[in-house]
Amino acid sequence: MKNEKTKLENEAEGAKKQAEMKAKAETENEKTAVKTETEKEKTETKPFEVDRRSVYKCVQCGTCRSVCPVFEAVGWESANTRGRMLIIKSLLEGREASEDVLPSLATCTTCGICAAKCPAGANPPEVVEEARSELVRLGITTEGQEKLRSTITISGNSFGESRDRLHWLPEAERSKLPEKSDYVYFVGCFDSYRYPEFAKKTFEVLQHFGVTLLPDEHCCASPLLRTGFRPDAEKVMEHNLEQIRKVGAHTIITGCAGCYTTLKNNYPGNLRVISLPEFLAEHLGDLKLKRLDLTVSYHDPCHLGRHNGIYDAPREVIKAICELKEMKNIRENSRCCGGGGGVRIGYPDISLELAKKRIEDVPEGVDYLVTSCPLCVRNLGDAGGDIEVIDIIELVAMALE
């Protein structure tokens, strides 16, 4: 009887929490939705349009309800993949686009687990990104995401930093950088400005292989693409491509999962893009790593794992250093950290709730939770808990010392 009462109390508490999160998201939406009259006048002649074939692939079976992390956290149908596809379909069929759709379409982390599990072969994250582009064209976005767009286009990075992007590299070492190289290390915004120690440790490894740095790297454009600002993203990508052409590089190495998937899948041309875990795994014999008396668990970043199928390389690196104790829900079934798709800046409460859910998957008896994405490090770290979240390059640096 007592257990039954506890179960009912937990269900009631969960329902209350979901209701509070929905109310907060709706309030946040009212505060942050951005749509100017000028933008309305410019765009209202052209109706909302996305690839209809992709939208109508969804047969509303509901398989995604069992895997969508946002739906699990908030519990409302419009924040589930099926609900999002229904809303996009309604916009195609004549519903007026307005800020009312933002709590649905702007809360998708684009983690891709729905696409991985969809029996009909639909790709909802791709459709959602396309729909977001249409909403932006119609002047509809959240204030947080608009602010991020402005920050990137003005400063060249997602944090609005005015500091030199290579501030972490001593001037004496900069002067020794090869002006031309086939290999370049794309650092990314997070490692440049929030985790410069990651950048420094990564480059300490890569420079032994003749890798250089871009003279004027800008944001990879992932945040712009994921939130629908395609024209701005194209300008940023062209800037970076020009920098890559200057050094003559054909191979890009990056330690950021978001940068990796963007450079690999969104940039034009024939760039060869390698993730840091892949590079490390390929060169394990050259690194001379010592064995550490540690047990760690590994979180698969969505952009590295589900979006690009990179599961084995980081595990090879970890197992070469210490014991790996897998967490629940790994590889293709990995839970999202909650930070992607613009959700962290547009709906921070939902983002944090997803991170807390993911931390619950960490097994007992591990010293660190390791991942291969600085955004995952930040968002999972913000979720609190007793476990320290580190990047894979930090583990490698420990083994090199």
Same domain, 60 and 133: yes
pLDDT for the residue numbered 123: 93
pLDDT for the residue numbered 235: 97
Same domain, 34 and 128: yes
The CATH number of the domain holding residue 354 is 3.40.50
The reported pTM is 0.87
pLDDT for the residue numbered 54: 87
Same domain, 169 and 275: yes
* Residue numbers of the domain that contains 333: 290-400
Rounded Cα distance, 377 and 371, in Å: 7
pLDDT for the residue numbered 24: 54
Q: Which residues of 88-102 are buried (b: 16+ CB within 10 A; e: fewer)?
A: bbebbeeeebebbbb
The residue from 281, 311, 343 where one domain ends is 281
Residue 305 lies in a domain: yes
CA-CA-CA-CA torsion sign (91, 343, 349, 69): positive
Q: What does pLDDT average to in each consecutive run of 10 residues of the chain (401 residues)?
A: 50 55 53 48 66 89 93 90 94 90 93 95 94 94 93 96 94 91 97 97 94 96 96 97 96 98 94 97 94 98 97 98 97 96 92 96 96 97 91 97 72
pLDDT for the residue numbered 36: 42
Residue 147 lies in a domain: no
Residue 2 lies in a domain: no
Residue 150 lies in a domain: no
Same domain, 318 and 383: yes
pLDDT for the residue numbered 20: 59
- The number of domains in the chain is 3
Rounded Cα distance, 259 and 265, in Å: 10
The residue from 246, 281, 316 where one domain ends is 281
pLDDT for the residue numbered 51: 85
pLDDT for the residue numbered 393: 98
CA 128 to chain centre: 15
Alpha helices (H) along 33-123: 37-43, 52-55, 69-74, 81-92, 102-105, 113-117
- Specify the residue for token string 């972490």: 168
pLDDT for the residue numbered 10: 53
pLDDT for the residue numbered 250: 94
Residues 240 and 214: beta-carbon distance below 8 Å: yes
Selection from 347, 366, 315 nearest residue 103 by Cα: 347
Residues 124 and 81: beta-carbon distance below 8 Å: yes
Residue 3 lies in a domain: no
Q: In what order do the strands lie in the sheet with 272-275?
A: 212-213, 183-186, 251-254, 272-275
Q: How far is CA 31 from CA 45, 133, 225, 280, in A?
A: 26, 21, 23, 45
Same domain, 259 and 300: no
Rounded Cα distance, 243 and 361, in Å: 41
The residue from 108, 139, 170 where one domain ends is 139
CA 253 to chain centre: 17
- The type of residue at 104 is S
